[in-house]
Structure 1
Amino acid sequence: MTRWFLIIIGWLAVVLATLGVVLPLLPTTPFLLLAAWCFARSSPRFHHWLLYRSRFGNYLRYWQQHRALPPGVKWKATLVIVLTFAVSLWLVKLWWIRIVLIAILVTLLTFILRLPVIDLPQQKQR
């Protein structure tokens, strides 16, 4: 029973993470980490797929090994966040929703910009 529950939660998290790539208020990373956690405890096959076959696998493996982002990811994430929130702010007419969006934007950017970045080739040269 627990195994199937974790598999269902894991796949739900994968779907939400995929939607989070294009929807500005839906985060991708927490759902991916939740899916990896669920699959690691319920299905080695799905866990392997998530880490080695999905589009998110490289980022998840890098995070698991180094607790950091690969080079180039931080500025791409920042760019996508700013662009999607800019579109949302442009489309929304209610001032209180704009204030909420700006607060979420500031929180997300603060989180992203505080994450460490490790460049492995430079680390090995030292």
Structure 2
Amino acid sequence: MVKWFLVAVGSVSLALGAVGILLPILPTTPFLLLAAFCFARSSERLHDYLVNHRVFGTYISNYYNHAMTPRHKARTLATLWFGIIVSVLLIGKLIPAVILPIIAGLVSLHIIRLRPRPEQAPDTRLEFPEDRAVPEPGTARTVSEQTPRSQDTAEGPAQRDR
């Protein structure tokens, strides 16, 4: 029962995170981190899909590594400030006009202080064992992982020790 609840919460969080990419009102990264947390405890297949996803995986890896490319920093800051300025103009009240730029300034400071990561993203293509066409959940490895091929068998760790 808990497993299905976590899958449901993770799925809703993933959907909200996807919408948050397009709408500056919704925060993308917290929803994607919640989805990754829920999937890690309920479905290894969904977790692997999320962290290796072409778009969503970038948000998660940026958070885990505390690093962003300069281009991603610039795009994030531009989107943040565009959303804040539009919000202040649409609301038209003094308190939000003071509080929202302060919050945006602190978030900007945090983003600017993140370690710069090279522009070229790490190789996240998946590598599968040769004897299986479709991988089982949790058996796929990224190319950047350094596990020797001789240890990667379909039988799993228990069979390797024999």
Identify the TM-score tier after normalising by the shorter chain: 0.7 to 0.9
Q: CA deviation at 1:36?
A: 1.0
Change (3 A) 1:100 1:120: closer
Q: CA deviation at 1:80?
A: 0.9
Q: CA deviation at 1:62?
A: 5.2
Tell me which amino acid in the other structure corresponds to 2:13: A
Change (3 A) 1:53 1:119: closer
Tell me which amino acid in the other structure corresponds to 2:109: T
Q: Is the 8 A contact 1:70 1:118 kept in 2?
A: yes
So what's the TM-score if we normalise by structure 2? 0.63
Q: CA RMSD in A?
A: 2.2
Q: CA deviation at 1:60?
A: 2.4
Higher relative contact order (Cα pairs below 8 Å, separated by 6+ residues): 1
Moved over 4 A (4+): none
Asked if 1:34 corresponds to 2:34, the answer is yes
Identity of aligned residues (%): 36
Aligned to 1:119: 118
Could you list the per-position Cα deviations for residues 29-85 of structure 1 after superposition, in whole angstroms to 9, with x for gaps in the alignment? 121111111111111121122123352123424554x44223421111111111111
Tell me which amino acid in the other structure corresponds to 2:31: F
Q: CA deviation at 1:9?
A: 1.6
Q: CA deviation at 1:120?
A: 7.8
3-state SS in 2 of match to 1:53? coil
Aligned to 1:124: none
Q: Is the 8 A contact 1:59 1:70 kept in 2?
A: no
Structure 1 runs not aligned, ≥5 long: 122-126
Which is higher, the Rg of structure 1 or of structure 2? 2
Could you list the per-position Cα deviations for residues 1-29 of structure 1 after superposition, in whole angstroms to 9, with x for gaps in the alignment? 22112112211211221232233343211
Return the structure number with greater helix share: 1
So what's the TM-score if we normalise by structure 1? 0.78
Aligned to 1:55: 55
